[in-house]
Amino acid sequence: MTDIFVVVGGDAAGMSAASKAKRDDPDLEVVVFEKGEWVSYGACGLPYYVKGEIQSLEALVSVTPEEFREERDIDLRTGHEVVAIDPDERTVTAESESGSVVQSYDHLLLATGAEAVVPPIDGIDREGVYTLGSMSDGKELREYVARAREGESLQQPDRGPACRYLEDCTGPVGIVGGGYIGLEMAEALAANGFEVHLFQRGDRVLTGFSEATSEAVADHLREQDVVVYLESEVVALEGGEADEDEEKDSAVETVVAADERVDVEMVLVGTGVRPRTDLAEAAGIDLGPTGAVATDAYRETNVPDVYAAGDCAEATHTVTGDPVYVPLALTANRHGRAIGQTVAGQLTEGGAVAGTAAVKAFEVEAARTGILDHDDAREAGFEPVTETIDAKSRAGYYPKGGTVTVTLTADRDSGRVLGASLVSEYGEGAVHRSHAIVGALEAEATVFELENYDLAYAPPFNTTWDPVLVAAKVLA
Ligand code: FAD
C-alpha cells in the first residue's frame, strides 16, 4: 500500500519536504495542509515589498499552489488549519470553510513556523500598531504606507529629518525593537519619507552581533536621520479613548518609553518571534530547552514518524552541539528537504546550524556566525578571546572601497574559531566574507588554520590579505 506523508504548514520547511519526498518517491501520497492562502512564499522579502522595491506579493512566491498540484502532484489543501493530531490513531484533523476532515498519515511533518512576539505593552492593541510576520501583515503595512503617502492617514504632518528621499515627507513612526526586522523596516519606512524613531530595550541594536557591529550600524542609522533610543524600553502606546461600541482601541498617538514620549502615527513592533508549538504540545510532542519542538539529528520528534522542522523546531549548534533556536530560512529549507529525503527512504540528517545571519540597513551590511557571547562560550566549555580589526575592503589604490570591521572570537587554549561578526558599507563584502568563517566553524578550524586559508584576491574585491585573514592573524 502507498505510504501517506502529511505536512502541516505550506512554506519553506513544509514545501521543501513535500517536494523532495514526492520527487524521490513518486509513489508516495503527499498531503499538505496550509491554513492560509499563500504557500512557498519568501517572508524575507516583505520589508522590500513594504519599501516599494518589490511590486507585488506574488513576486515573493517561488512555486504557486497550482504548480504544486499540477506539476508536482502534491495534494495541497490551502485554507485548511490542522487543529489536532492523534499519534495513536496516526491521524490529523483539519478544519476549513467547508468543514472538518480527518486525514491518516504514515509520516507527519510539523512545519508550523513561528509568530511575531507581541509584548505585553499597554496599548499594544491600538489601531496603527503593526507586526511583520506574514504576507497579510506585509499587505497591511504596504497599504498603510500608500495611504500615508497620499496624505490620508496623517495625524501630525511633519517634515522630519528623515525626509531625504522624498520632497513630501510623511509623519513620524515608531519602531519597537532593534533586531533585523526593525532595521529593515527602518530603511523601508524612511525610504517612503517617514521620520523614524527606533526604540531598543538593550544598550545596542543587533544584540546577537558584536558590539563593534552594533555600534557601526547604530551610527549609520543616525547618519540616515533615524532617531535611535537605546536602553529605552517602550512601556505604553498611548492614544485617544475608544468609543464604547468600538472593538479596537483608538489609534496610537504616542510611544511612551522609559525617558521619552514621542508622538507617532504608527508603530511597527519587531520584538522577535516565538515557535508555534500548540499543536505539537497538545499531541504530547516534547519541546526542548529553547521552547521549540525538540528533535533528533533526523529532525524526528519523540513521537515516532512525526518530524518537525523550520521556525517551530530546534536545531543543533555547529560549535556546541547543543539544541538551539535559529528561526531562519535556510535551516527551514534544509531540514525540510532532509526530512523529505528520509521519508522517501533515504535516512538523511538535517545538519547543524551556526546561527549565521545577515542584515542590510540603508547603506550598511552586517553578518554574524557562531558564538560571540563570552558567557555562552564559557558555558560550552571554551575560554573565549575576541579581537576586532578594521581593514580596507579593496586595494588602497582602487577607486572604490571602504572599511570592513571584523570581530573574531576563538578559544584561547586551542585557537579554535568560535564565531565572528562583520560590518561594512553595503557592497563592501562583510556578508560574503562571513562565509569563509562559516567554513572554519564547520571544519572546527583554528585561527592558525584560518589565517592560512587561500582566499581569492584581486584589487576590486579586497587587499592581498583579506580582512578575514588579518583578523585571524591578530588572534593567532
Ligand atoms: P513559516 O514560513 O512561518 O511557515 C509556516 C506555515 O505554517 C505558515 O504558512 C502558516 O500559515 C502555516 N501553519 C501554521 N500552523 C498551521 C496549522 N495548524 N495548520 C495549517 N497550517 C499552519 N530568514 C532569513 O534567513 N533571512 C532573512 O533575511 C529573513 N528575513 C525575514 C523577514 C521577515 C519580515 C520575516 C517575517 C521572516 C524573515 N526570515 C528571514 C525568517 C524566514 O522567513 C523563516 O525562517 C522561514 O519562513 C521559516 O519557514 P517555516 O516553513 O519554518 O515557517
Question: Ligand 1 centre from 11 Cα, in Å?
Answer: 6
Question: Ligand 1 centre from 160 Cα, in Å?
Answer: 34
The pLDDT score that the predictor gives to residue 244 is: 61
Per-residue pLDDT of 337-362, as tens digits, reads 999 999 999 999 999 999 999 999 99
Q: What is the largest CA-CA distance in the chain?
A: 70
Catalytic residue (one of 44, 163, 169, 312): 44
3-state SS, residue 292: coil
The span from the CA of 212 to the CA of 325, in Å, is 24
Residue in the structure block whose three cell numbers are 525626509: 163
The yes/no answer to whether this complex scores an ipTM above 0.90 is: yes
* 47 CA: nearest ligand 1 atom: 34
> Closest residue (by CA) to atom 38 of ligand 1?
44
CB under 8 Å, gap of 24 or more: what pairs does 59-64 form? 60/135, 63/15, 63/19, 63/39, 64/39, 64/40
Query: Would you say the CB of residue 380 lies under 6 angstroms from ligand 1?
Result: no
Share of the chain above pLDDT 90, in %: 91
Question: Ligand 1 centre from 113 Cα, in Å?
Answer: 5
Model confidence, pTM: 0.94
DSSP state for residue 417 in the 8-state scheme: E
Per-residue pLDDT of 451-468, as tens digits, reads 999 999 999 999 999 999
169 is catalytic: no
Provide the pLDDT confidence category of residue 148 given band limits of 50, 70 and 90. Answer: confident
Share of the chain above pLDDT 70, in %: 94
By most ligand atoms within 8 Å of CB, the mutation choice from 44, 57, 95 for ligand 1 is: 44
- 282-to-182, 279, 285 alpha-carbon distances in Å: 33, 5, 7
Mean pLDDT in residue range 323-350? 98
The pLDDT score that the predictor gives to residue 248 is: 59
The pLDDT score that the predictor gives to residue 156 is: 40
Is residue 162 scored above 50 in pLDDT?
Answer: no
Q: Greater confidence, 248 or 405?
A: 405
Mean pLDDT in residue range 263-291? 97
Question: Ligand 1 centre from 43 Cα, in Å?
Answer: 7
Is residue 300 scored above 50 in pLDDT?
Answer: yes
Query: Would you say the CB of residue 133 lies under 6 angstroms from ligand 1?
Result: yes
Query: Would you say the CB of residue 82 lies under 6 angstroms from ligand 1?
Result: yes
Please name the amino acid found at residue 264.
V
Dihedral sign from CA coordinates of 155, 55, 270, 260: negative
> Closest residue (by CA) to atom 46 of ligand 1?
329
Lowest mean pLDDT among 191-195, 301-305, 312-316: 191-195
Q: Taking the chain, what is the end-to-end CA distance rounded to the nearest angstrom?
A: 60
